[in-house]
Structure 1
Amino acid sequence: MLQNKPFLLLLFSLLLLLNCKEDKGLSRQLPPMEVAQDTITYAKGFNIYNSGNFKVITVNNPWPNTDKDYKYVLISAEELAKTSFMKGEYDGIIVTPIQKIVTTSTTHLPALELLGVENTLVGFPGTDYISSESIRKNIDQGQVRELGKNEGLNTEVLLELKPDVVVGFGIDGNNKSLNTIQKSGIPVIFNGDWVEKSPLAKAEWIKFFGVLYNKEKAADSIFKTIETSYNKAKALAKQVTKQPTVLSGAMHKDVWYLPNGTSTEAQLLKDANVNYLYADTTGEGSLALSFESVFEKAKTADIWLSPSYYTTMEALKEANQHYTQFDAFKNNNIYTFSNTTGQTGGVLYYELGLARPDLVLKDIIKICHPELLTDYQTYFFKPLQ
């Protein structure tokens, strides 16, 4: 056996060399490990990773109780031509920068406008709800097509538009229209800005759009400006020692709905340094209370914010005579954002409020602490007429 050892070593070396030659051309270089860009400070629903010649954006919790994380490749057309991906590895491959986009929520539109790419919008469900002046101009010129309703998109028109991507919005993931679009080969990426737990986290989703357009630096700069403005207003409100008591919401049928103490609305009130009467409550969604319990607790509240969809004192009175018994009603201290609308009646707050929490916070500070921000004019909230 020992005499055959040199022969066996030679044979082993030849086999190893042969295997290496046969493998030539079949081996594939593994893509670089994904590295987080560490640019997301507040938002929990998405993250951006760099994988060398392409980027990856992950989206989790685009609606409550989501049991899946979504993963999308963002890649240039040039790189895509020489890169292949395993089937099922990603939920969508998006060629960037985006040239044509369809969005499904008005909350998506301010990011396009702030980034200067609103002209890429080619379709939207419910164009009458859009308040942006520049996008309304594009609608009037036929550059933005009406797509029906978010729950039942006009897929025929949408497929005709051939957008590079559809930014989806959903409450449970069961949107058949979006499934049809995805099967046609148009990538659908979900946006979960509304699920975030803080005002700045929601605003930070501008970075989600920044990476779609290769405008990450611009998105970072815009968000930093918003963040600085918000924190400066918050610090100013901390200086006051008197906290006015605040009530919110109104009756719908037999139930009074108002923000719970862990909501973003309650966070704004806290940062405005006011005494929100339901700040100590917790839970998901709105509080649902009886009129009697609200009246007992909030009859003497100094200020009443966001009385549902009511736009005048008379309308509030006609809806329920008991509203007139609140001190805030007697003293004309009721404020709403429902009267600040676009050309076709869309409520501006529902479009821009999420993207600009600094303006919302300043509005509340101006209303509740009029001695502060003396030169500031409220942007969304106006007194109920």
Structure 2
Amino acid sequence: MKPRILILIAFLSLISCKREQKNSSSQSVSISKLVRYEDQNNIFRLKSGNFTYDFKKNQIPFKKIIILNASMMGYISELNAENLVIGVSSPEYIYSERIHNLLLRGKIQNVGNEQKYDVEKIISLKPDAIFTNYIASFDNTYQLLKNNGIQVIFLDEYMEQKPLEKTAYIKLFGKLFGKDKQAESKYQDIEKNYNELKALALKSKEKPTILANEMYGSVWYLPGGKTSVANYIVDANGDYVLKNNSDEKAVTMSFEEVFAKSDDVKYWINAGNHMSKKEMLNMNPYYGKLNVFNKGKIYVLTGKAKEKANDFFESGVVRSDLVLKDYIKIFHPELLPDYQLTYMKELQ
């Protein structure tokens, strides 16, 4: 009996070991509520919003890609993966100097814009994948590309409201480009910087009241209380005028409604891309009634901008630590006496 029992135990142990080995080969990574990926055996599975993609091991890393949204270029640049890019749309909105140099040399092609993509050129380039935000009105174009064997990957990073989760997309790009270790290292560095800056902000004795964004026509589009802007303000130890709001999207208000909330506002951030306070006033004379316009400080997003391109919407998507550092410098300048703003600029 004993030999039989020993054989049975050995058999069960072998099965258990195989199961453990099988499970250990699976790695699931959650970027956010919207995006997660799993590397299991010979399949890499990506779930992004309502879309699921399965790639065989011989399909990745990608060697030739097309980027249709400038905001994704920040991840490409952070990973030094510009050499993988063979096509872009609307290059006038891209800030990266290296991408523009590759465009001039013909290494990267212009494949159209958000009104109309050059489908024939895209097909002729034979990319391994196209990265873009999902736009329902382009469904026919997406289907045409898929029918020609081109993989279209939808990533809506602009919908992420937690700064570090938006940064974490770099890990996904690293996986798809064969730069896993570099991407993980970059993310850890940014995460560490971000958390240290967040702790630094709490050392300030003041918590100034903050107003954000500006008016378009007769409507003021304020960031909702759970948007990325609101989260940055909280992490920079600021008191946002809509802190009790629970929206993850813009909240529309009239000037009168904003005026009623703005009496104690000390800093007005993300006030567009104006060149001066005089220009703002010419555009909207009502701004002159705000205390913050006359006695506070106003900051615009033009610290790294040239023509139609703005690096805040490119590298700033990845470098959440630098964006937070800018806000801390604005709200609590005494905490970062030697730091010069990266993406923001005070309006004179």
Normalization by structure 1: what TM-score?
A: 0.80
Q: What does residue 383 of structure 1 align with?
A: 346
Displacement after TM superposition at 1:315 (Å): 1.4
1:111 aligns with 2:75: yes
Amino acid at match of 1:71: Y
Q: Counterparts of 2:259 and 2:345 in 1: how far apart (Å)?
A: 23
Q: Is the 8 A contact 1:167 1:189 kept in 2?
A: yes
Using the TM superposition, name which of 259-268 and 345-354 deviates more.
345-354
Q: What does residue 18 of structure 2 align with?
A: none
1:192 aligns with 2:156: yes
- Give the direction of change, closer, same or farther, for the CA distance of 1:35–1:267 in structure 2 (3 Å limit): farther
Q: Trace 1:1-385 onto structure 2 (pairs within 5 A).
A: 36-40=26-30, 42-59=31-48, 61=49, 68-76=50-58, 95-172=59-136, 174-331=138-295, 333-338=297-302, 340-342=304-306, 344-385=307-348
Displacement after TM superposition at 1:241 (Å): 2.1
SS for the counterpart of 1:152 is coil
Structure 2: 5+ residue runs without aligned partners? 1-21
Q: Counterparts of 1:345 and 1:320 in 2: how far apart (Å)?
A: 22
Q: Counterparts of 1:206 and 1:339 in 2: how far apart (Å)?
A: 23
Q: Counterparts of 1:175 and 1:159 in 2: how far apart (Å)?
A: 16
User: Can you list the C-alpha shifts for 1:214-269, whole angstroms capped at 9, x where unaligned?
Assistant: 21121111111110111110000011121111111111111111101011110000
User: Can you list the C-alpha shifts for 1:67-105, whole angstroms capped at 9, x where unaligned?
Assistant: x341221422xxxxxxxxxxxxxxxxxx22211100111
Displacement after TM superposition at 1:299 (Å): 3.5
Please identify the structure whose Cα radius of gyration is greater: 1
User: Can you list the C-alpha shifts for 1:258-311, whole angstroms capped at 9, x where unaligned?
Assistant: 101011110000000011111111224201001001012114410111113433
Q: Is the 8 A contact 2:42 2:56 kept in 1?
A: no
Amino acid at match of 1:106: A
Q: Counterparts of 1:261 and 1:295 in 2: how far apart (Å)?
A: 18
SS for the counterpart of 1:142 is coil
Deviating beyond 4 angstroms after TM superposition, the runs of 4 or more aligned structure 1 residues are: 32-36
Q: Counterparts of 2:284 and 2:311 in 1: how far apart (Å)?
A: 27
Displacement after TM superposition at 1:169 (Å): 1.2
User: Can you list the C-alpha shifts for 1:139-185, whole angstroms capped at 9, x where unaligned?
Assistant: 22122211212353110111111111111212447432222111100
Paired-residue identity, %: 31
Q: How many residues are aligned here?
A: 327
Q: Is the 8 A contact 1:166 1:186 kept in 2?
A: yes
Amino acid at match of 2:325: K
Q: Is the 8 A contact 1:72 1:189 kept in 2?
A: no
Q: Counterparts of 1:154 and 1:102 in 2: how far apart (Å)?
A: 12
Displacement after TM superposition at 1:351 (Å): 1.1
Q: Counterparts of 2:290 and 2:279 in 1: how far apart (Å)?
A: 15
SS for the counterpart of 2:66 is strand
Q: Is the 8 A contact 1:168 1:178 kept in 2?
A: no
Q: Is the 8 A contact 2:300 2:345 kept in 1?
A: yes
SS for the counterpart of 2:46 is strand
Q: Is the 8 A contact 2:213 2:223 kept in 1?
A: yes
- Give the direction of change, closer, same or farther, for the CA distance of 1:264–1:374 in structure 2 (3 Å limit): same
- Give the direction of change, closer, same or farther, for the CA distance of 1:199–1:107 in structure 2 (3 Å limit): same
Q: Is the 8 A contact 1:237 1:365 kept in 2?
A: yes
Amino acid at match of 2:54: Y
Displacement after TM superposition at 1:39 (Å): 4.1
